Structure 1
Amino acid sequence: MDVQVLETVLMLGFAAGVLHAFDPDHLAAVSGLSGGDGKRSVGFALHWGLGHGLAVLIIALAVMVFGAAVPEAFSAAAESAVAWMLILIGAHTFYHLWQQHYRGRVYGGHRRNAALVGLVHGSAGSAPLLALIPAAQYTSAAWGLLHVLLFNVGLLLAMVGVGAALRRGLAVAAKRDGRLQLSLQGGLAMFAVGFGTFLLVGG
């Protein structure tokens, strides 16, 4: 493969990862997780991205190195799990916002939960497709895996940027009016529940 063509395809892998970060279900997951504790938005986004990237890398290894095929039933189950996770994330956030407002308890959140959500997201839907279809065209598995890694790097950087924006937005809202911050956090939780329900109904 020509060097210039190879560089272009690899950069497209990075760009595809950046674009993939902005899928609505990804935004719903990270914003829902951040709704309970905006100060940890970047940490949630980072761990979500690491979990997502691990899933895509495992699938890439299975397909390109071991010649395995991803069962349709597995993808369907993962997509259903994504929908239920979004609903649970939103409901969980609503519960902790209620505790925070009426009982003064602050929700700390768990980054390992964000990594688990990312792992399920990476196993479902278009992520393996976006990462693996171009990678499968490489004559060398090593180049294909490099494409997947660049896809993951692009997605991770973009999602961390989303987390930083969420943290900044909630911090500004908190300085202006505590009720505004609470409303925004509730809106993020509602987005997660609503989109999860939409995925279930649409599926």
Structure 2
Amino acid sequence: MNHDAAPLGIALLGLMLGMRHATDPDHVIAVTTILSRERRLSAAARVGIVWGLGHTVTVLIVGACIIVFKIAIPSRVGLAMEFGVAIALILLGLGAASDVIRRLATRLSGAPPDPPPSELIVHAHAHVHDAFEHRHPHVHLRDHDRDDTGEHDEHVLSMESIPAISGRRSLLKSFVVGLVHGLAGSAAIALLVLSAIPDPTWAVLYLAIFCSGTVLGMGLITVAIATPFLIASQRLAWLHQGFVTGSGLLSFGFGLFLAYRIGVVDRILGAAPIWMPR
């Protein structure tokens, strides 16, 4: 047996298992909800990679502490960490759920529906106050923004600036959600690694390789998921909007399911909570 090949085999195994870990349903649902509004493949890939980095931070910190110091996570604390994932998923899908409820209320009340995004145009007018010129961006219906000469092109706000702002928010949101998911899974991952590799130094190294695989896997997954979103956004606006709403509702519903399971089935507030690290 070639002993020199053993570390390489362990490293490859950690990398592959990390990539598989990225495909967990709650991970995919969370990232899909965040990237559903992205308009560029590179931006979507960054969302996945940043999620993986946030996941890595908590897994490495908490996991290494469990491995090195042999820390035992109480059941209620473990359930609370998993409950954080449920809250994150609910918050990610809350906008889509509230939008659906608002549309239903509008339809039932007989009020005119909101115009589709394709009929809206964002532009900015220049104003001068105290010798300083600045612009006020605002939204109009497309027909409102026309005169006899056509659209006010000189007033149209550069759409390049809008993705830059929303992109920074998406990355921050992705990183925070990754932190929460990493916290929830750190105990199970660390215990699994420690059971397979008793030596703490090698176990922490394996954990780092595992996290690298998670980052890589999530980057690939986001590219695969974002492709149909981007195609729909360019050719079928209504289908893209359906994807966005659907992913948000899925996140909201799955978050409620997790909250019910943790709160009622696993009895997080009960006298004897049930927690199996997973």
Task: Choose between structure 1 and 2: higher helix proportion.
Answer: 1
Q: 2:76 aligns with which of 68, 73, 76?
A: 73
Provide structure 2 residue ranges, at least 5 long, that are not aligned to the other structure: 101-113, 123-161, 263-278
Instruction: Give the match for residue 7 of structure 1.
Output: 8
Q: What's the offset of the Cα at 1:100?
A: 7.8
Instruction: Give the match for residue 29 of structure 1.
Output: 30
Instruction: Give the match for residue 113 of structure 1.
Output: 173
Q: What's the offset of the Cα at 1:28?
A: 0.8
Is the Cα–Cα contact under 8 Å of residues 36 and 226 in structure 2 kept in the other structure? no
Is the Cα–Cα contact under 8 Å of residues 135 and 143 in structure 1 kept in the other structure? no
Q: 1:198 aligns with which of 227, 235, 257?
A: 257
Q: 2:247 aligns with which of 182, 185, 188?
A: 188
Change (3 A) 1:172 1:162: same
Letter in 2 for 1:74: V
Q: Using structure 1 for the length normalisation, give the TM-score.
A: 0.85
Change (3 A) 1:130 1:16: farther
Percent pairwise identity: 28
SS in 1 for 2:234: helix
Change (3 A) 1:100 1:94: farther
Q: What's the offset of the Cα at 1:122?
A: 0.8
CA separation in 1, counterparts of 2:63 and 2:10?
17
Q: How many residues end up aligned between the 2 structures?
A: 201
Letter in 2 for 1:124: A
Farther-moved stretch of structure 1 (72-81 vs 114-123)? 72-81
Task: Choose between structure 1 and 2: higher strand proportion.
Answer: 2
Q: 2:47 aligns with which of 44, 59, 63?
A: 44
Is the Cα–Cα contact under 8 Å of residues 32 and 189 in structure 1 kept in the other structure? yes
Q: 2:85 aligns with which of 82, 85, 100?
A: 82
CA separation in 1, counterparts of 2:90 and 2:258?
10
CA separation in 2, counterparts of 1:58 and 1:75?
15
CA separation in 2, counterparts of 1:36 and 1:56?
28
Is the Cα–Cα contact under 8 Å of residues 17 and 153 in structure 1 kept in the other structure? yes
CA separation in 2, counterparts of 1:17 and 1:87?
25
CA separation in 2, counterparts of 1:136 and 1:152?
17
Q: What's the offset of the Cα at 1:115?
A: 1.0
Q: What's the offset of the Cα at 1:137?
A: 4.2
Letter in 2 for 1:162: I
Change (3 A) 1:201 1:86: same
Q: What's the offset of the Cα at 1:174?
A: 1.5
Letter in 2 for 1:138: I
Give the alignment of 1:158-169 within 5 angstroms: 158-169=217-228
SS in 1 for 2:215: helix
Change (3 A) 1:90 1:148: same
Instruction: Give the match for residue 19 of structure 2.
Output: 18
Farther-moved stretch of structure 1 (68-77 vs 185-194)? 68-77
CA separation in 2, counterparts of 1:37 and 1:93?
15
Q: What's the offset of the Cα at 1:121?
A: 0.5
Is the Cα–Cα contact under 8 Å of residues 193 and 207 in structure 2 kept in the other structure? no
Is the Cα–Cα contact under 8 Å of residues 89 and 251 in structure 2 kept in the other structure? yes
Is the Cα–Cα contact under 8 Å of residues 47 and 114 in structure 1 kept in the other structure? yes
Change (3 A) 1:99 1:196: farther
Note the alpha carbon deviations across 1:13-44, whole angstroms, 9 max, x for none.
21211111111000111001112335332222
Give the alignment of 1:171-182 within 5 angstroms: 171-182=230-241
Is the Cα–Cα contact under 8 Å of residues 13 and 148 in structure 1 kept in the other structure? yes
Q: Using structure 2 for the length normalisation, give the TM-score.
A: 0.64
Instruction: Give the match for residue 58 of structure 1.
Output: 61
Is the Cα–Cα contact under 8 Å of residues 66 and 190 in structure 2 kept in the other structure? no
